[in-house]
Amino acid sequence: MFQDLVPGFDALAVGLLALLILDYIRVSLRQGLRTLPGPVLARFSYLYRLLMVYNGDGPANYLKIHQKYGPIVRVGPNEVSVADPKMIPVIYGIGSKFTKTPFYDTMAPVYQGEVMDSMFTARDPIYHKHLKSSVSQIFSMTNMKNFEVYTDECTQIFMDAMLDLENQSLDFSKWLQWYAFDVISAITFQRRFGFMEQRRDVDDMIGKIDTGLQYVKILGQLPFIIPILRRALLSRQFQRLNLLPDTLDRFMKITEEEIDRYDHHSVENRKAGRTDFLAQLREKEERSGKISHRDMMNHLSNNLLAGSDTTAISLRAMIYYIVRTPHVYDKIQTEIDEADRHGRLSKFITYEECLKLPYLQATMKEAMRLHPGVGFPLERYVPPSGAEICGHRLPAGTNVSISAPVIHQIKDIYGEDADCFRPERWLEASPESLKAMDRYFLSFGHGARTCIGKNISIMEMGKFVPQLLRHFKISWASPLPEWRTHASWFWKQSGLIVRLERRVAP
Ligand code: HEM
Ligand SMILES: *[C@@H]1O[C@H](CO)[C@@H](O)[C@H](O)[C@H]1NC(C)=O
Ligand SMILES: *[C@@H]1O[C@H](CO)[C@@H](O)[C@H](O)[C@H]1NC(C)=O
Ligand SMILES: CC(=O)N[C@H]1CO[C@H](CO)[C@@H](O)[C@@H]1O
């Protein structure tokens, strides 16, 4: 009987294997994709995508495949990476029908047992519009002056700590993140987590985000797992198993506490003239209608998640490139000192004042060009009508993406020395080239889903960096010649070891 069954098993196994192979071949020959250049493994399997990002070198690997295969590369069974700047408005432009892919589901938090898509993760354009409409005014340029006082408080704490730690080797990768985190929480609900005061990762909050990002990095490459995981995350049994660390729980709790605190003291708050994000949202409700508690939680917690790592990365990039490029350091220092001598800088440099430091602004852009905060491709679906991308007709549902680190290296746009740190390029460019450099600058994304927090981060960095350079001389103090970087969506750096020495402004 057993022998009778074995041949049957064999036939079944062979049959299944044949089906699997046929399926692989079918996938690899997918209409519209089979003629695209790219590595062979990528046609069959998501493994290739995973291998490209696994070690944290995604940005360099995406650059490499485009150098090898050209401006359009098939990077997965149904995934295409594009390095042609002319396609940026097509894919991401306002009015484009390309929506976000399940990749973004990996970053949605869970609140009260239900997935809570944020303005950043939302894939449905209607839901996205609903979320955006209640907050967009708070992110406007004119509203930034209401947030300056909160950043100044944090800057004071940072500077005091630097005086205290004068001449010692400091891990600035950590300090800048502590700063950015405390700033965004102060702006959001007038509470600092206290990273700078305690000089440590309070409640392991940063560590937990990092752990979460490792999941994003890996699971985001394996889209067939995402819906399964999403369902699992919501099941009671799974939550009891506690397999995934509660990465975002702590943020949700704090956000909830802060809403409570505000609501219990709303009269005092109003007298005290609070102008943080939470206070402004509550005031706005009186003019334009109630915002649900869930949406409130959504907006506030999303500020913390979207606005801390990104700004920290960009601050690190600025400090790193300034310190490692002496002629840039000299020039920026001269610009700051000159403005200072002429009485054009307040005790805390204001947003308005920093916008009048052109070399500083160019340095900020250049640092973000070479090292964008988001190092991964920004994935979108081709709409139901299909699309013409780089001369290829791609079918509906194909996933297309463009990566900032790849676009920012294109010599036709950024110059022959696109791989060098040279802020001058932003000041010397002809009006037409400058327009292209700006239009294709992808550090904040592009178009319909561009970063809404851009004004906050430009304000924050523009005020902080000159304030620091005004009062301290920063030098490289690491035994290693470089920092280290690891991209898992965010392109984080470590090993930014420096020493600060107090200086007397001339
Ligand atoms: C230098 C700092 C920052 C960088 C480099 C950055 C980068 C980005 C990028 C690349 C996107 C688009 C992502 C995509 O297309 O998938 C984005 C979206 C977003 N960012 Fe930022 N960001 C920064 C700061 C902030 C801050 C401070 C906040 C909030 C306080 C914020 C909130 C958001 C939100 C809500 C979105 C989604 C917008 C939408 O889809 O409508 N970001 N950011
Ligand atoms: C920043 O402020 C300017 C001026 O108010 C506004 O046009 C722009 O939309 C703001 N940026 C974002 C991303 O909201
Ligand atoms: C730091 O170093 C400078 C120059 O070496 C010195 O003048 C200063 O006193 C030192 N400060 C402290 C707090 O050690
Ligand atoms: C990586 C990714 O999100 N891939 C998606 C591409 O599109 C197909 C359907 O068209 C999805 O099933 C994949 O998950």
Give tens-digit pLDDT for 178-229.
999 999 999 999 999 999 999 999 988 899 889 889 888 998 898 777 777 7
pLDDT at residue 244 is higher than 80: no
CA dist 438 and 426 (Å) reads: 9
Q: Which of 364, 451, 491 to mutate for ligand 1's pocket (most ligand atoms within 8 Å of CB)?
A: 451
Atom of ligand 2 minimally distant from the CA of 444: 13
pLDDT of residue 489: 96
Instruction: Tell me the mean pLDDT in the region 291-302.
Output: 95
pLDDT tens digits, one per residue of 352-405: 999 999 999 999 999 999 999 999 999 999 999 999 999 999 999 999 999 999
Query: What does pLDDT average to over the chain?
Result: 91
Task: Specify the 3-state DSSP secondary structure of 428.
Answer: helix
pLDDT tens digits, one per residue of 349-367: 999 999 999 999 999 999 9
pLDDT at residue 459 is higher than 70: yes
pLDDT at residue 434 is higher than 50: yes
Q: pTM (2 decimals)?
A: 0.93
Question: Which ligand sits nearest to residue 138's alpha carbon?
Answer: 2
CA dist 74 and 456 (Å) reads: 36
Atom 2 of ligand 2, residue of closest alpha carbon: 141
13 exposure class (CB count in 10 Å sphere: 0-12, 13-18, 19+): exposed
Give the CA distances from residue 237 to residues 234, 244, 351, in Å, rounded to whole numbers and listed in that order.
9, 13, 50
**Dihedral sign computed on CA atoms, order 493, 499, 502, 506:** negative
Question: Residue 382 in contact with residue 358, Cβ under 8 Å?
Answer: no
| Token code pair at residue 389 | 């991308």
pLDDT of residue 228: 76
pLDDT of residue 368: 98
Q: Which residues line ligand 2 (CB under 6 A)?
A: 139-142, 452, 454-455
Atom of ligand 3 minimally distant from the CA of 167: 1
> Cβ neighbours of residue 427 under 8 Å, at least 6 residues apart?
358, 359, 362
pLDDT at residue 3 is higher than 60: no
User: H or E stretch including 189?
Assistant: helix 172-189
- Which residue would you say has higher pLDDT here, 16 or 106? 106
pLDDT tens digits, one per residue of 34-68: 999 999 999 988 999 999 999 999 999 999 999 99
Atom 12 of ligand 2, residue of closest alpha carbon: 452
Which of 443, 466, 434 lies closest to 351, judged by CA?
466
Question: Residue 402 in contact with residue 378, Cβ under 8 Å?
Answer: yes
pLDDT at residue 5 is higher than 60: no
| Token code pair at residue 474 | 């920063």
Question: Residue 446 in contact with residue 137, Cβ under 8 Å?
Answer: no
pLDDT at residue 307 is higher than 50: yes
| Token code pair at residue 309 | 């790592």
